Structure 1
């Protein structure tokens, strides 16, 4: 019997947790159950049998965390672990079926279980997709009827994999997303939009949610949604939220509460119900006994009507910088560094000076070179409110995890910020790494995709426009390839590293001819001979020719150095004029007096 046929007459009950249940039985919440496929196959088999006897009719293989990065194993050992998991699940079904003839009329389906492969900066997207495909190949070779992708925050990494699976096999394909109690994934995508995205992929047979939240929050999230009519709907919440007990994370036994919520959720039109972290065979037994297998409310027949509160919209925030850029006029952006301490008055004065000198936007660096300064977004908000200038705070991936990043972006938006520069960020200086950790939950492209989703979900009427950094060094085709990835992720413009050499000016010209985008060319006038030699020798990615440095000398006065720096900047601007969309001034030590001396065409 195919699963689709079963679902015509029955609501499908899944098993519960494997990882947390295994760890609880072993008394160690740090154990990884996937290794037990090789080391303790009988133990895993017994857990599977418990779930089947409890009433589960969808059994997940013990492979959720069976990626090479998680298990720290090679491809051969990974394959052995996955194939062992398939064999164990099949043995469990066979043994229980022989013991209980009633199960023959209620078949047990086995799902090859796949969890997210964690982001690893040393691996490419293509390599990770290749690993997903190989895992799926094993499940197909093992003739499993179902493949389940669970606990995903979006479809970005698995869209290609899902299409690949359906081209090779007619397996029943389930995609489960993980959201928090507010109904958003770690990528900032709303639960309803995740289901909408799944609904548009014909290769997906069933979609829904697992993990992330307990049954109460899961029920509340589902109540606010309209289910896609072309998919079976699945929900597998956690037992609740773990608590620390004797240095262990444990889930409270709240099976009755769990079942009560799942009964309410099922009546919304769920086709498949079960449990995730913290649930046990006891939970599944009560669930199976409580939900009528004969009463099926197909999601396609359910329409949830929602009343939307009509809010009076405030006037749109004028984005003069982006409008000018879009119209093909050259724009001027000037970068300021926030202070190291609470003495912000000079930054306000600099911003006022730049406003009076017709600068289009002020960009605010985000703790450059990994040294803590006033938060770039908060300092930008201060400039908006005190000076009334357009701002573009830099947002780097180094210092904020996914939760803090989303909070910061929402905070920027409600404080009228509509432009951002999204960068991966400088690493923490080596001398501080023993006491300061970098986060890097995202790289710049991932964060841009996150921001793109936030624009669609939260800011569709008035989006945030964001740019990316352009490091023009290296092979031009590779530079353009990365720019296109950023553009696909929503980057509306690019700001380059400082430009000095004629060959780099020509590189920018060639890049501009290969990609249709807006480029603000970096201009950084030196304040002294020492400043020039420091940048030339200490800052990676900035090419300063000797002839530029030689135009300074150690005995120059500040005024003389500024005149030379302004002359060089003006010459570079003249050479860039034909193809630059604007200029991005990086002024060492916030030396805004340069702007009086530079000729901007």
Structure 2
């Protein structure tokens, strides 16, 4: 008899956490690798849950897939680790009437497009086959925040096997998925995709799990499951800890029964004590067949409509020549020269001033503060760079909310240079997100929804630029990255500075099929040392030998600066026929150089227009 037959007439008990239990023992490494290096420890955990009353135990394989094992250099051990996981679980139940669930965890997080579905499918299939070959009694698909991912892997699993499948989503908000879908609708979709048991696990404790389940109808053909967390985690003395709360779990057990739960287990922070509390309370309970459902409807959204006061850059650059100039925030508290430069660039007629976000991991005055002042005092559009390096997901969301509140709607989303290249090489690089995920997150803001799925109350109107590094061995691969960023929602691209006419032509040829505009980058060199440093030490910049030789021939700083301007003007002459958008980088706050280049571009365009008008008259 499989466990689905038993579930028709009784409530079954699942096990609790494995990873957080191992963490509480002092293990802080790849938990799944312990199947090979410390099998007795994993077996001991299985035995503890079985003695506590668990009817189903899960294999220690939650993250035993290629993508997650790769973080530890274990990507070639997928089969070995999963096979060991099943064997350990199977050997643990020999003296118990229990079942083994092959566990597979979700891969996508709060920004689903970061990992393409094709990659998800390959990743999932490999682990699935390993578990099925060892003969599990069922599959537990758990902690899936992205419903598309769960439906995709569920359909694959169902085509490969007839064994029972448990499919569980995870929520950031009560009763709502991160895509804004109500949990009741998601449960119905999973049931329609032939999941045998459907439910919720992780993130929420019993209180919010019960509130979530109150809006869930009893499935017509599947059973309902829930695996709550022990509590909210706390960070104490350098470790993450959860409240014990075993008596609290016991008291909540009957409430879960009233919501129609047939499979009751635990997730993060739960221990054999929590599972025993559940088992003692509901082991012989009779499942309910009817329940009162709280009719939770998607709230009618009345978001405020925010209108931009200027044309988005991606639209502007398709209408006319558009010049954006980077003016780096100062490294010191003095801002006089910076604002002097901003006013000079405004007078030169630039379309936007871009402000880097601690470029090269070097602390500077916060760019959003300077951007707000520039916008207010000079009426020049600021383009604020936003790096993933310095802020976690919480900080990024807060920062975006702040930019929206300040009316700063133009953002360049970048991953950021690692901290080790800057003034504080020991500082932590956060990188919760990559630039792909940040772009997607910003676009979700434009829909009025936070990454957790909650309402923001207003639709943001961000225009999102993305970085383009053409200084790679294979330009076609760089273009593939651009295509991925377009899919994530990038509105336009800003390239690293280019120092070769030949490269300009190659970039144009490689990207001409893209409808997303590109601002081609240029930076005037100021000396031979400057050129050599940029070429040899700065990531993402390459300068041809010809250009470096030209700079080396300049005998003094004045001549070097003139030569640098001449080189840039030659590049501008070539680029004006190829790109509508020009991105000028100001070296060392020498704004006189970029104002001169701005005037040069405008003069060249006027001459071209004059010749065009003259040719018409003739």
Partner SS state of residue 320, structure 1: coil
Could you say if the C-alpha distance between residues 510 and 263 of structure 1 is closer, same or farther in structure 2, counting changes exceeding 3 Å?
farther
Between 156-165 and 539-548, report the one with greater CA deviation.
156-165
The equivalent residue for 1:113 is 103
For residues 413-432 of structure 1, what are the structure 2 equivalents within 5 Å?
A: 413-429=404-420
Out of 144, 158, 183, the position equivalent to 2:136 is 144
The farther-off stretch of 463-472 and 349-358 is 349-358
SS of the residue aligned with 1:95? coil
Question: Aligned runs of 1:41-56 on 2, under 5 Å?
Answer: 44-45=42-43, 47-52=45-50, 54-56=52-54
Structure 2 matches for 1:36-75, cutoff 5 A?
37=35, 44-45=42-43, 47-52=45-50, 54-66=52-64, 68-69=69-70, 73=74, 75=76
Matches within 5 A, 1:473-484: 473=471, 474-484=473-483
Structure 2 counterpart SS, 1:514:
coil
- The separation in 2 between residues aligned to 1:497 and 1:545, in whole angstroms, is 14
Q: Which residue of 2 aligns with 1:467?
A: 465
**Distance of 2:555 and 2:183 partners within structure 1:** 63
The aligned residue for residue 287 of structure 2 is: 294
Alignment of 1:402-551 (within 5 A): 402-429=393-420, 435-456=426-447, 457-458=449-450, 461-473=459-471, 474-528=473-527, 530-548=529-547
Q: How does 1:158-237 map to 2 (within 5 A)?
A: 161-178=153-170, 189=178, 192=181, 203=193, 205=195, 208-220=199-211, 234-237=225-228
Among residues 587, 600, 603, which one is paired with 1:598 in the alignment? 600
Deviations 1:450-482 (CA, angstroms, capped at 9, x unpaired) = 434444424784442212111123323212211
Q: Distance in 1 between matches of 2:150 and 2:29?
A: 27
SS at match of 2:337: helix
Contact in 1 for aligned 2:386/2:414 (Cα 8 Å): yes
Question: Aligned equivalents of 1:584 and 1:168: distance in 2?
Answer: 52
Q: How does 1:553-564 map to 2 (within 5 A)?
A: 554-555=554-555, 558=558
- 2:72 and 2:544 map into 1 onto residues whose CA distance is 48
Tell me the equivalent position of 2:342: 351
Q: 1:431 to 1:114 in 2, by over 3 A?
A: same
SS at match of 2:228: strand
| Structure 1 residue 40 displacement after superposition | 6.5
Q: State the secondary structure of the residue aligned to 1:96.
A: coil
**CA positional deviation for 1:521:** 0.9
Task: Indicate whether 1:318 and 2:305 are aligned.
Answer: no
1:404 partner SS: helix
Closer/same/farther in 2, CA of residues 74 and 573 from structure 1, 3 Å limit: closer
More displaced stretch, 14-23 vs 337-346: 14-23
Tell me if the contact between 1:395 and 1:420 (Cα under 8 Å) persists in the aligned partners. yes
Task: Give the corresponding residue for 2:88.
Answer: 88
* In structure 2, C-alpha distance between the alignment counterparts of 1:323 and 1:127, rounded to whole Å: 31
Please state how far the C-alpha of 1:44 moved relative to its aligned partner: 4.6
| Superposed displacement of residue 555, structure 1 | 4.8
Aligned to 1:383: 374
Aligned to 2:613: none
Which residue is equivalent to 2:13? 13
User: What is residue 354 of structure 2 aligned with on the other side?
Assistant: 363
Residues 257 and 287 of structure 2 are in contact (CA less than 8 Å); yes or no, is this contact kept in structure 1?
no
- Deviation track 1:143-175 (CA, whole Å, cap 9, x = no partner) reads 324322333454687776554433322344444
Equivalent-residue separation in structure 2 for 1:54 and 1:497 (angstroms): 60
Aligned length: 579
Alignment gaps of 5+ in structure 1: 98-107
| Contact 2:362 2:422 survives alignment (8 Å) | no
- The residue aligned with 1:101 is none
Q: Could you tell which deviates more after superposition, 325-334 or 126-135? A: 126-135
Deviation at residue 318 of structure 1 after TM alignment: 2.8
Deviations 1:364-396 (A, max 9, x none): 101111211122334323433444332221122
Contact kept, 8 Å, 1:530 with 1:554, in 2: the verdict is: no
Give me the whole-angstrom Cα distance separating, in 1, the residues matched to 2:577 and 2:223: 56
Correspondences of 1:277-292 after superposition (within 5 Å): 277-291=268-282, 292=285
Asked if structure 2 preserves the Cα contact closer than 8 Å seen for 1:195 and 1:227, the reply is: no
Q: Does 1:240 align with 2:231?
A: yes
Instruction: Report the alpha carbon displacement of residue 238 of structure 1 after superposing the two structures with TM.
Output: 1.8
In structure 2, relative to structure 1, the CA distance for the partners of 1:431 and 1:70 (3 Å cut) is closer
Cα deviation for residue 504 of structure 1 reads 0.8
1:280-316 deviation digits (Å, cap 9, x = unpaired):
3332233245454411558xx9563248476572542
Q: What is the match of residue 104 of structure 1?
A: none
Going from structure 1 to structure 2, the CA distance change for 1:556 and 1:237 (only over 3 Å counts) comes to: same
TM-score (norm 1): 0.80
Q: CA deviation at 1:133?
A: 2.8
- Residue pair 2:360, 2:422 contacting (<8 A) in 1 also: no
